[in-house]
């Protein structure tokens, strides 16, 4: 049997084992991209092949944590899509202002860059006290990092540039303090943030949101899973609420497309229709 065909079998078995043992289902992730991440993880591990790795992953949760981070964490940066944050200021904040309490969901938040960017924006617009940001990820380990709000100091320059391009009104350095090689976000940004474990693959709806951000997550899913996730968003987005996706994502091929209108052409910002 060719080596690649054998490896395909091993990967299927590993994903099945992970699903049974830990409840995380990766079988609807885009397979070629997932395989790339799995191979990368294997090449940096002590195992020669996935069969060998599977035994350790089944028996040692710590091994699984490493695998999970390797195949799910999406590295992001503060204000990664300046045009999106400008559009949020322009179109979405006036809508949020009309409510006494606002709920925002950052789905697949990884290490929290989008959630903190949003917190800064809400702070500058005077909306922070009445907003709650729910930042979720399936990976507890990255949630801990997100909660800590510490980032390497060498990213400050790029973050500052993004912040200014996204329409920042203050000084980015007001939002963190530097210690040695790291910077920690100001505590007030975390005041209205809730970090929670949630899997877009298997968990259900929660809350009625005014805004949902989910950037560079759907690109890793096959069409049926992406449809499921957008349906989940639709179910917990109040009528007139907004959905923001990554720069290269859209609802064009999603089954729920008709429930949304595009806010600005060329930008993955959508508004849920009031009545069907």
Partner 1 sequence: MKLSLLTAPSAIVVGASLGGLDALCFLLDRLPASFPLPLLVVQHRSADDDGLLVAALRAAGHLPVREPQAGEPIATGGVLLAPAAYHLLVEPGPTTGLSADPPVCAARPSVDVLFESAAEVYGPRLLALILTGEGRDGSAGMQRVYAAGGAAIVQDPRQAAAASMPGHARRAVPQAEILPLAGIVTRLLAFADQAPAVRRAPAGRRQ
Question: Cα–Cα distance between 19 and 265 in angstroms, integer?
Answer: 39
Q: Segment 2-41, which members bind partner 1 (CB under 8 A)?
A: 4, 8, 30-33, 35-37
- Among 27, 74, 160, 199, indicate the residue that binds partner 1 (CB under 8 A): 74
In DSSP terms, which residues pair with 104 in a beta bridge? 133, 211
SS3 category, 24 = coil
Where do the DSSP E strands lie in 209-268? 209-214, 237-245, 260-262
| Sheet of strand 131-137: strand arrangement | 193-197, 131-137, 102-107, 209-214, 237-245, 269-272, 260-262
| 249 contacts partner 1 (rule: CB under 8 A) | yes
216 binds partner 1 (CB under 8 A): yes
Binders in 34-73 for partner 1, by CB under 8 A: 35-37
Least distance in angstroms from the C-beta of 83 to partner 1: 10
What contacts 192, CB < 8 A, 6 or more positions away?
A: 119, 128, 129, 131, 132, 133
- Report helix angle 3-22 to 31-44, nearest 10: 90
Minimum CB distance to partner 1 smaller for 125 or for 227: 227
Restricting to residues 159-188, which ones interact with partner 1 according to CB under 8 A?
Answer: none
Q: Restricting to residues 253-272, which ones interact with partner 1 according to CB under 8 A? A: 253
User: Candidates 90-98, 126-134, 138-146, 216-224 — which segment interacts with partner 1 by CB under 8 A?
Assistant: 216-224
CB contact burial 140-160 (16+ within 10 A = b; e otherwise):
eebbebbeebbbeeeebeebb
Site stretch for partner 1 (CB under 8 A), options 48-56, 175-183, 191-199, 248-256: 248-256
The single residue among 252, 265, 274, 275 that binds partner 1, judged by CB under 8 A, is 252
- Minimum Å gap between C-beta 223 and partner 1 is 5
Least separation in angstroms between CB 8 and partner 1:
8
Q: Are the beta carbons of 249 and 219 closer than 8 angstroms?
A: yes
Q: How far apart are CA 98 and CA 116, in angstroms?
A: 22
Compute how many residues bind partner 1; rule: CB under 8 A. 25
Structure tokens at 35: 């395989």
Which segment (16-24, 130-138, 193-201, 221-229) binds partner 1 by CB under 8 A? 221-229
What gap in Å lies between CA 104 and CA 78, rounded to an integer?
A: 17
Backbone angles phi, psi at 100, to 5 degrees: -70, -30
Among 218, 243, 256, 263, binds partner 1 (CB under 8 A): 218
Among residues 102 and 229, whose Cβ is nearest to partner 1?
229
Residue 157 is a binding residue for partner 1 (CB under 8 A): no
**In the complex, least distance from residue 30 CB atom to partner 1, rounded to whole angstroms:** 5
> Where along the sequence are the contacts to partner 1 (CB under 8 A)?
4, 8, 30-33, 35-37, 74-75, 216, 218-220, 222-223, 226, 246-250, 252-253
């Amino acid at each position: 049997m060719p080596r690649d065909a054998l490896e395909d079998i091993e990967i299927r078995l590993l994903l099945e084992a992970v699903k049974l043992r830990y409840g995380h289902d990766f079988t609807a992730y885009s397979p070629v991209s997932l395989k790339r991440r799995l191979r990368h993880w294997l090449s940096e591990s002590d195992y020669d092949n996935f069969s060998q790795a599977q035994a350790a992953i089944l028996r040692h949760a710590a091994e699984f944590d490493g695998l999970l981070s390797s195949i799910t964490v999406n590295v992001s940066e503060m204000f990664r899509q300046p045009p999106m944050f400008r559009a949020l200021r322009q179109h979405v904040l006036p809508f949020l202002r009309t409510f006494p309490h606002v709920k925002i969901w950052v789905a697949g938040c990884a290490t929290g860059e989008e959630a903190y960017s949003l917190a800064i924006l809400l702070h500058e617009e005077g909306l922070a006290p009445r907003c709650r940001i729910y930042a979720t990820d399936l990976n507890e380990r990255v949630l801990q990092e997100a909660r800590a709000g510490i980032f390497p100091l060498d990213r400050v320059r790029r973050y500052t540039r993004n912040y200014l391009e996204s329409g920042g009104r203050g000084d980015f350095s007001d939002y963190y303090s530097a210690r040695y090689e790291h910077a920690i976000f100001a505590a007030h940004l975390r005041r209205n943030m809730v970090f929670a474990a949630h899997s877009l693959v298997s968990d259900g709806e929660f809350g009625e949101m005014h805004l949902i951000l989910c950037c560079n997550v759907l690109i890793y899913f096959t069409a049926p899973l992406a449809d499921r996730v957008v349906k989940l968003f639709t179910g917990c987005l109040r009528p007139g609420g907004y959905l923001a996706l990554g720069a290269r994502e859209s609802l064009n091929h999603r089954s729920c497309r008709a429930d949304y209108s595009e806010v600005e052409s060329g930008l993955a910002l959508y508004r849920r229709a009031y009545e069907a």
